[in-house]
Amino acid sequence: MLSFNITCQDSSSSARLGKLKLSHAEIETPVFMPVGTQATVKTLTPDDLYDIGAGIILSNTYHLYLRPGADLIEKAGGLHSFMNWKRNILTDSGGFQVFSLSKLRKITDEGVEFRSHLDGSKHFLTPELVMEIEQKLGADIAMCFDECAPYPCTYEEAKRAVERTTLWARRCQEAHYRQDQALFGIIQGNIFPELRQKSAADLIRLDFPGYAIGGLSVGEPKEIMYDILQVTNSVLPVNKPRYLMGVGEPEDLLEGVKRGVDMFDCVLPTRLARHGTAYTSHGKITVRNAGFAEDFSPIDEECSCYVCKNYSRAYIRHLIKAEEILAHRLLSYHNVYFLVQLMENTRNSISEGRFDEFYRDFFKKYSF
C-alpha cells in the first residue's frame, strides 16, 4: 500500500528526494498537497489539478463527517469517486478542526465531545470513530486522531496532549484495517523540544509508515517552528515520509525541505486567492490594488501556468473589483500552481545537487 524510497540526499542540508508509492499513483517528494477541505480544492476541478501537476490532495475528515457524511461518500464509492479525483488523497483526522473550528469541546481520554460549527449539533469523536470515517472515505493516507494543544500553552498542557495523542494513536492503529490505506501518526508537543522528541519516540515505537508533525504554524514565531522541525526530524526514521501539517508559505516550504520534510499542505493558496492576493517569484502581490489597473503583464512573468499565459493583472483586477468568481478561480489556479511548481523546482535542484544554490536564489528574490 505504501512504499517510500529516498532517491537522493542533499549533501549540504537534510533535504532529500523521495518516491512515495501510494494506492493511486507514485509521487515524488518533497511535495505540496493542495487542500480540498470539503471534497473540492476551492474553485478548481480535478482536471485543473492534473494540469497543475498535483499528485495528491488533502481533504478533511471533520468537514466531510459533518457534511455530506461519511456514509454518503462511502455509497458514492469513496471520496475519489465522489469528487472524481483519480490521484492520491490524504485525509486529515479532524483533530485540528475539532480544536480550531467547533464549539463547546469536552476532551477526555475517551474522545472529544463538540458542537458542529455548522448547526450546533452535538458530536462525540473517538479514535475508533475517526478510523471508521476515514476508512469509509477511503483516502490513500489517513491520519491518526490527535489532540492539538493551542499556542501558547503550558508545558503541562502540551504534555497531556502528547500523552493522549500517543494513547489515541495506538487505538487508531488497532481500529485501522484497510490495506489500501496508509495510516500516519501525528507528532505533537507544541514548542517544547523534549515533548516533540517524546511524542516522536512514542509513535516510532508504534511503527507507522509515515509521520506527521502537527500543531505548528499556529501562531508561534517562525524561528521556533524551524527549530522544532529540526529537533523532530532529527529523531524520526530516515526511511519514512515526514509530513509537516498545515504549512505553508513558500518560504516555509523551502525551510521545511531544508530540514528534511517531505510533504506539506496548506489552505493559503486558495484563501489568498479569495482575498485577491497572488504569489509571484518576487513575493506576494495584492492584485486588487489600484496600481495594477492598467498593468497588462501576467501575474508573474516567470510563471508558465495557464493563468499567466492567458490573463493580465489588469483583467484579473477588473474581475476582483467586479466581484466575478472567475477572479477566485484564476488566482486559485495560479497560487496552487506556484506551490506545486516550487516543489518541482526544489526536487530538480536536489537531484541536480544544487539545492543550496536554489534555496539562496529563492530568498534573494522572494520578499515576505
Residue 99 or 333: the one with the smaller Cβ distance to a copy of itself is: 333
Q: Least distance to a copy of itself from the beta carbon of 43, Å? A: 5
Q: DSSP of 195-222, one letter per residue?
A: HHHHHHHHHHHH--S-EEE-S-SSSS-H
Q: How far apart are CA 151 and CA 227, in angstroms?
A: 16
Does residue 293 touch a copy of itself according to CB under 8 A?
yes
Q: Least distance to a copy of itself from the beta carbon of 73, Å? A: 9
Choose the stretch contacting a copy of itself; rule: CB under 8 A; options: 71-79, 161-169, 201-209, 225-233.
71-79
Does residue 65 touch a copy of itself according to CB under 8 A?
no
CA-derived radius of gyration, the chain: 20
Residue 29 or 277: the one with the smaller Cβ distance to a copy of itself is: 277
Residue 350 corresponds to which cell in the numbers above? 536536489
Would residue 71 show up in a list of annotated catalytic residues for this protein? Answer: no
Binding track over 14-53 against a copy of itself, x by CB under 8 A: ------------------------xxx-xxxxx-------
Q: Which of residues 296-315 bind a copy of itself (CB under 8 A)?
A: 296, 310-312, 314-315
Does residue 329 touch a copy of itself according to CB under 8 A?
yes
Using DSSP, state whether 293 is helix, strand or coil: coil
Binding track over 248-287 against a copy of itself, x by CB under 8 A: ----------------------------------------
Written as one letter, the residue type at 142 is A
CB 184: neighbour CB atoms within 10 A?
A: 26
Q: Which among 37, 62, 168 is positioned nearest to 114, based on CA atoms? A: 62
CB 365: neighbour CB atoms within 10 A?
A: 12
Binding track over 146-185 against a copy of itself, x by CB under 8 A: ----------------------------------------
Q: Least distance to a copy of itself from the beta carbon of 96, Å? A: 19
Would residue 202 show up in a list of annotated catalytic residues for this protein? Answer: no
From 140, 146, 202, 265, active-site residue: 265
Residues 6+ away with beta carbon under 8 Å from 34: 41, 44, 49, 52, 54, 57, 58, 265, 269, 270, 336, 339, 340
Residue 249 corresponds to which cell in the numbers above? 508559505
Q: Which of residues 75-114 bind a copy of itself (CB under 8 A)?
A: 75-76, 82-84
From 10, 48, 92, 252, active-site residue: 92
Residue 29 or 59: the one with the smaller Cβ distance to a copy of itself is: 59
Ramachandran angles phi, psi of 243, nearest 5°: -120, 120
Q: Least distance to a copy of itself from the beta carbon of 114, Å? A: 19
Q: Least distance to a copy of itself from the beta carbon of 44, Å? A: 7
3-state helix, strand, coil in the chain (%, to 5): 45, 20, 35
Does residue 186 touch a copy of itself according to CB under 8 A?
no
Residues 6+ away with beta carbon under 8 Å from 1: 22, 23, 179, 180, 181, 182, 209
Residue listed under C-alpha cell 493558496: 269
Q: How far apart are CA 240 and CA 180, in angstroms?
A: 17
Residue listed under C-alpha cell 530538480: 348
Written as one letter, the residue type at 83 is M
Residues in the interface with a copy of itself (CB under 8 A) total 35
Q: Which parts of this chain interact with a copy of itself (CB under 8 A)?
A: 38-40, 42-46, 63, 67-68, 72, 75-76, 82-84, 293-294, 296, 310-312, 314-315, 318-319, 321-322, 324-326, 328-330
Catalytic residue annotation: 92, 265
